[in-house]
Amino acid sequence: MSPIPVFDVMNAVGLVAFAVVGSLKASDARLDLLGVSVLGFLTALGGGITRDVLVGRIPAALSGSNDVTWAALGVVLAMVLARIIEERHLLDHPALLVSDAVGLAAFAATGALVGVDAGVSAFGVVVLAALTGVGGGTISDVLLDRIPFVLTEDFYATCAVAGGVVFVTATAAGVDPRTAAVACAAVVFGTRVAALRRGWELPRL
């Protein structure tokens, strides 16, 4: 999926982290083992699946991608961890938050590249970058009967949108898409970590 080796590593880290987050949220909401597994897989794979459906591809997650293995690893890891430590403490753990930021960066960058491949507009590229990053968490929150956290208080989707805008601006200025994707990932990760450290929030109307 990703033409740049470092993205393979970031992608794997992100899939595990996203699956852990999804499974822990499901467990915290008292879902059963199937629900915990489904939410783990969906949080990890849902953004990429939605993106692939929008550009008219059979989702990579259904056609033999390794992504499924990493997501499964995350689900199992969450199940083990949840027996040792309380879900809410795990969800706030810095290691998980940073891994999640790595995933957000990789997903946004690969989403932007898929958008370029599919020939969508600049707006479409930003949407696909953001959606690949936050789509899985959004679907999971909807299934958990909550307003998706990305829409309410966290400075999270904004990082993916910023990365998408950087990507679009760079490629419009003649930068190679692969280089632009690295810049995109760096912006997403950097803004996300800064937001976590400094408690950034977007204003309300």
For residue 199, give the DSSP letter. T
Q: Is 98 exposed, middle or buried (0-12, 13-18, 19+ CB in 10 A)?
A: middle
62 with 76: CB under 8 angstroms? no
Cβ-count burial 40-52 (b if 16+ within 10 Å, e if not): bbbbbbbbbbbbb
Nearest to 2 by CA among 141, 121, 105: 105
Nearer to a copy of itself by Cβ, of 6 and 117: the residue is: 117
Nearer to a copy of itself, 50 or 99 (CB): 50
Query: Closest distance between a copy of itself and the C-beta of residue 99, in Å?
Result: 20
Q: Which is nearer to a copy of itself, 164 or 182 (CB)?
A: 164
Neighbours of 203 (CB within 10 A): 4
Which residue number, 119 or 199, has a Cβ lying nearer to a copy of itself? 119
Q: How far is the CB of 105 from a copy of itself (least distance, A)?
A: 18
In terms of CB distance, is 83 or 198 closer to a copy of itself?
83
Residue 32 C-beta: closest distance to a copy of itself, Å: 4
Task: Enter the DSSP assignment of 155.
Answer: S
> How far is it, in rounded angstroms, from Cα 190 to Cα 183?
10
To a copy of itself, the closest distance from the beta carbon of 78 in angstroms equals 8
Residues that bind a copy of itself (CB under 8 A): 26-27, 29-36, 38-39, 49, 53-59, 61-65, 68, 79, 82-83, 115, 118-121, 123-124, 127-128, 138, 142-148, 150-153, 157-158, 161, 201-205
- Give the shortest CB-134-to-a copy of itself separation in angstroms: 10
Tokens of 177: 């898409």
Smallest distance, a copy of itself to C-beta of residue 6, A: 26
Helix (H) or strand (E) holding 63: none
Residue 72 DSSP SS3: helix
Nearer to a copy of itself, 57 or 175 (CB): 57
Residues making up the chain, counted from first to last: 205
